[in-house]
Amino acid sequence: MTKPRLLILSFSPIASDARVLKQIELFRSEYEVTTCGYGPPVEGTAGHIEIPAQLQVWQYPRLLVVLRRYRRAYWGSAAISYAREALSGRSFDVVLANDVDAVGLALAVQPDGAVHADLHEYSPRQHEELLRFRVFVRPFVEWMCRRFVARAASWSTVSGGLAREYRRRFGFDAEVVTNAAPYVPAEPTPVSTPIRLVHSGAALRNRDLASTIRAVQASTADVTLDLFVTPNEPDYVAELRELAAATPDRVRVNDPVPYAELAATLRRFDVGIFILAPTNFNYRWALPNKLFDYVQARLGVIVGPSPEMAEYVRRYGLGVVTADFQAPALTDAVDAMTVADVARWKAAAASSAHELSSEQQVLRWKRAVDALAAREAR
């Protein structure tokens, strides 16, 4: 029996995009999966269209965006134009489009409308702290949401807050598929002395990782902090290393590890930390993959009062929520925790690891894509 043909479209480096990799893993046994995006192919796919790295999707023709000639601006993107030409003449039963920019292209590739849109952020407010984004980019992204995304057949996004806002502004109901990590069969490790704190993720200035370092440096507790950060902003990484160098026995800034090694690396620690001030809409409603990475590593968790993260930490007893997003509040939380607290949090992570795994979450993608494939077969 011929497998349905599925195109997974993402303007990201396919082989290192954790969310897209979950989609490929989910579908490649039952679908003939073709990918289109940046970088090399992923093993087990039927084909791959590599978009040249120099053609970045966000580089839309600036004047057309300023003049609000949005249709011409969209199709004038060199990345979208390249992908459209490369996909010309190919036929797919279903397209899984990742993020807003990909959906218009997906609808052109699949004119029957069998498109599932997976929205990794609330794109119209992704950088709303920047004036130029609010004035020029946001209206363009909102146009894409109305013109393209609302015409998809089904939708998903990463948290309840983002889903509610998409519904309120554009009228479509996105199902929540969290950025959960794959299930890891493991038991919690004993709590270390000193207690080992860890943070993993992107080194972006607007995430203010410096405050996390200062909070731990100010603590009187017997703890250490390791950060594994990707060099999104190299100058900021250099600043973090300089700040950590003041207390080399307590704080270390490390190079990132490949995602395949992340779970084993995190298991060397006791408590994962992520304090994310709500400097924009997406940060307020963030429910990031690192929270679930910490759970699969059987760590305790300390987060700020971000509604989505805090709800998970409290519901499952994973750790503690700080009083606010400032460094002194994190210092207070670190000072107050005990070895017994951390052992209890790690045990809670172990008991909830299966429920919070990606294997449970991705079934929502499967139901959506299977329904579209069945519709096309009819």
How does pLDDT run across 320-359, given as a tens digit for each residue? 999 999 999 999 999 999 999 999 999 999 999 999 999 9
Residue 129 in this model has a pLDDT that exceeds 90: no
259 against 316, higher pLDDT: 316
- What's the pLDDT score for residue 127? 87
Lowest mean pLDDT among 71-80, 256-265, 301-310: 256-265
Residue 259 in this model has a pLDDT that exceeds 90: no
363-377 vs 18-27: helix crossing angle, rounded to 10: 50
Residue 62 in this model has a pLDDT that exceeds 90: yes
Chain segment 84-120, per-residue pLDDT in tens: 999 999 999 999 999 999 999 999 999 889 999 999 9
Distance CA 272, CA 308 (A): 16
Residue 1 in this model has a pLDDT that exceeds 80: no
285: amino acid identity, one letter:
W
Residue 378 in this model has a pLDDT that exceeds 90: no
- What's the pLDDT score for residue 16? 84
Helix (H) / strand (E) containing 302? strand 300-303
Distance CA 372, CA 378 (A): 10
What is the mean predicted confidence (pLDDT) over 50-62?
95
Domain architecture of the chain: domains with CATH: 5-177+362-377 (3.40.50.2000), 195-352 (3.40.50.2000)
Q: What is the 3-state secondary structure (H, E, C) of 87-123?
A: HCCCCCCEEEEECHHHHHHHHHHCCCCCEEEEECCCH
Distance CA 236, CA 217 (A): 18
- What's the pLDDT score for residue 260? 79
Instruction: Tell me, yes or no, if the pTM score tops 0.85.
Output: yes
50 against 128, higher pLDDT: 50
What is the mean predicted confidence (pLDDT) over 134-162?
97
Chain segment 200-258, per-residue pLDDT in tens: 999 999 999 999 999 999 999 999 999 999 998 999 999 999 999 999 999 999 999 98
**CB 297, CB 269: distance < 8 Å:** yes
Distance CA 155, CA 355 (A): 22
